[in-house]
Structure 1
Amino acid sequence: MSAAPSPDDGLSAAELAKKYGLSVSGARPSLPEYARQLWDRRHFVVAFSRAKMTAQYSQAKLGQVWQVATPLLNATVYFLIFGLLMQQSKGMGIPTYIPFLVTGVFVFTFTQSSALSGVRAISGNLGLVRALHFPRAVLPISFALQQLQQLLFSMIVLFAFLLGFGHMPKPSWLLIVPVLALQFVFNTGLAMILARLGSKTPDLAQLLPFILRTWMYASGVMYSLVEALKKTHAPGWLVDVLSANPAAVYINLMRDALISGHAAHKHIVLPQHVWALGVGWALLVGVGGFVFFWKAEEQYGRG
């Protein structure tokens, strides 16, 4: 006797899956659902970023002191080169060049470190990615948050420099909060973009430091960017483009908030609509980076 024909006979695998409500394992959720899943894991993001920050210097004898010492040593090196050897402070006529310099170094280091950690967020954590199911955006977001916590430690040193050079607290210091918030959104989006690119092209992690170094010199970290360009008789459009690049925007916004009203302030040339630029870069790269990363969610950890 032959078995009675099943109602599922003749249906393709895709039709059977649809009929019984099956879905592909690891399939990419919709963008709103993806955002909801990330929000549900917000406590893990914070805990993971703190754990990474603690582990970063766990083998060093000075431990967490390096969180402040690293950017401070970077600022010292740049001061020796640009402040003393190249006499940048005298050329700019800035009597408080050190706060001007340290602000630029700390703010740019925030973006630089977020990019460097973001490019390895997936490729450097393949064991975790392949072993557990979670929104992969957790990783670059956690690394960007880790760098924000690092910057907050560095800000303690920056405030000490400011007070030591006569920059007393004032209402404009409150603008630090929105500046850091905008830069964090920008950095997070940048980290997600680089995380996706780095997951497919690991060599990008080797190239990125050279790109970031070029970006640093084009952002006026150690000197007044506008004055330097004017001395070389650069065309006006080049001055506008470099002044509007996101690193320069966030550095100048922070300098304007911290050292406005002092002799150094005249060397902080803010482009027109600078706050609109800050918000625009944060939305463009932050939201765009999130969508760009989400589109490859199914590919991470495979191949």
Structure 2
Amino acid sequence: MSQPESAVADAQAGGRSGQEPLAKLAKRYGLRRAIARPRFPVYMRQLWERRHFILTYATSRNVSKYTSSALGQLWQVLTPLLNAGIYYVMFGLILGGKGNIENYPAFLLTGMFIFTYTQRTVTAGAKSITGNLSMIRALHFPRASLPLAYTIQELQQLAISMGVLMVIVIITGEPPTLLWLMMPVVLLLQTLFNIGASLVIARLGASMRDLNQLLPFITRTWLYASGVFFSIQEKVVGSARLPQWVADVMYMNPAASFIEWMRDILIESHPAPPMVWMSCVFWAVFALGFGFWYFWRAEERYGRG
């Protein structure tokens, strides 16, 4: 008789006699639940083994997103261009948000594209579990694959938006410099932060049914607090005459940090405070580590109910 069959026989005998609990029998024979959460290093290795699935799933979602429209994949270029025009007319011309900012079109669009990348990733992460319950219940795979795939999908969209942004920045009078070589570094750190944030919000979204209703209000408040439409230094210290530490706290906001660092790279007249790059590194490392750990802790509960 094999070991599992022997364990079943012993469990049935123990159940009739009441001598040994089933948990102890399972431990003695090295048995564990089929859906048990693996150890964290094993979990990370399983994710790496499924990297091709994650990339393919993200790419297929990106391709299928515009299949029902007449212009198809062309919308990946048209969408950032249309957004760029709307934001500039509304916040630059009508609301007069540019103030004393030089090259306000590049200033505004850099802020919008960088913030939108994080905003869309977090919003997609909130639905990554609840929107794929049938696949979660039918297949066995690390559930973190879904928030990761959604983040990669938004990264693919960002690559097109950044191409549009660089063209606009050059047209508005900013010459390419060696600092532009730092753009992939900023985007890498932001992607690491987005992955962590997406994992956290994915776990919260799996248990809090009303989170998707609250997220638009949360991200809108985050948008206004991140200096997307205005210069934090000018508005907080200059116009509002608040202490410098208030502006420094606003710069430590992760979205504001990534925006300011990217503006520092692309726009010569907009230098960023030195604390910005340190804030970016901190948020990337902290969010990635905490996000994976926090999501992994609830691995057994996803897809239930």
Taking structure 2 as the reference length, the TM-score comes to 0.91
Structure 1 residues 171 and 295, CA gap change in structure 2 (3 angstroms): same
- TM-score of the aligned structures, taking structure 1 as reference length: 0.92
Aligned to 1:145: 152
- Counterpart CA distance in 1 for 2:65 and 2:209 is 21
> Quick one: distance in 2 between partners of 1:76 and 1:225?
23
Shift of 1:53: 0.8
Say yes or no: does 1:60 pair with 2:62: no
Q: Which runs of 5+ in 1 are unaligned?
A: none
Whether contact under 8 Å (1:226, 1:243) holds in the other structure is: no
Structure 2: state its 5+ residue gaps.
1-8
> Residues 256 and 12 from structure 1, CA distance in 2 versus in 1: closer, same or farther, beyond 3 angstroms?
same
**Matching of residues 147-162 of structure 1 within 5 Å:** 147-162=154-169
Residues 20-35 of structure 1 aligned to structure 2 (within 5 Å): 20-35=29-44
| Residue correspondences, number | 291
Distance 1:77 1:36, change over 3 A: same
**Counterpart residue type for residue 81 of structure 2:** L
> SS where residue 119 of structure 1 aligns?
helix
What is the Cα deviation at residue 159 of structure 1?
A: 1.4
Query: 1:211 aligned to 2:213?
Result: no
2:35 aligned counterpart, secondary structure: coil
Give the Cα–Cα distance (whole angstroms) in 2 for the partners of residues 257 and 272 of structure 1: 13
Aligned with residue 206 of structure 2, among 199, 205, 215: 199
Partners of 1:68 and 1:223 lie apart in 2 by 26
Q: Deviations over 1:166-196 (max 9, x none)?
A: 2222110010011000000000100000000
Quote the Cα distance in structure 2 between the aligned partners of 1:6 and 1:42.
Answer: 41
Letter matched to residue 294 of structure 2: F
Name the residue aligned to 1:188. Answer: 195
Q: Relative contact order: is structure 1 or structure 2 higher (C-alpha 8 Å, sep ≥ 6)?
A: 1
Task: Look up the equivalent residue of 2:135 and give its one-letter code.
Answer: L
The match for 2:22 is: 13
Output one character per residue of 1:107-163: Cα deviation in whole Å (capped at 9) or x when no partner.
Answer: 011000001100001011111111100000000011011111100011111111022
Counterpart code for 1:105: M
Q: Aligned ranges for residues 1-303 of structure 1 at < 5 Å?
A: 9=14, 10-89=19-98, 91-94=99-102, 96-230=103-237, 231-260=239-268, 264-265=269-270, 268=271, 270-303=272-305
CA distance in 2, matches of 1:80, 1:86: 8
Question: CA separation of 1:161/1:6 partners in 2, compared to 1, >3 Å: closer, same or farther?
Answer: closer
CA distance in 1, matches of 2:10, 2:297: 39
Runs of 4+ in 1 over 3 A off after TM superposition: 5-9
Please tell me the residue identity of whatever aligns with 2:52. Answer: H
Q: Residue 6 and residue 290 in structure 1: after superposition, are their counterparts in 2 closer, same or farther (change >3 A)?
A: closer
For residues 35 and 262 of structure 2, the distance between their equivalents in structure 1, rounded to whole angstroms, comes to: 42
Code of the aligned partner of 1:32? P
What secondary structure, in the 3-state scheme, does the structure 1 residue paired with 2:127 have? coil
- Return the alpha-carbon distance in structure 1 between the equivalents of residues 61 and 94 of structure 2: 37
- For residues 61 and 115 of structure 1, the distance between their equivalents in structure 2, rounded to whole angstroms, comes to 28
Deviates more, 1:217-226 or 1:43-52: 217-226
CA contact (8 A) 2:251 2:276 kept: no
Q: CA deviation at 1:6?
A: 6.7
> Shift of the alpha carbon at 1:237?
2.9
In structure 1, distance between residues paired with 2:250 and 2:154: 25
Identity of aligned residues (%): 47
Q: CA RMSD in A?
A: 1.7
Following superposition, the deviation at residue 55 of structure 1 comes to: 1.3
Q: Is the 8 A contact 1:71 1:109 kept in 2?
A: no
Aligned in 2, Cα 1:243/1:17: closer, same or farther, shift over 3 Å? same
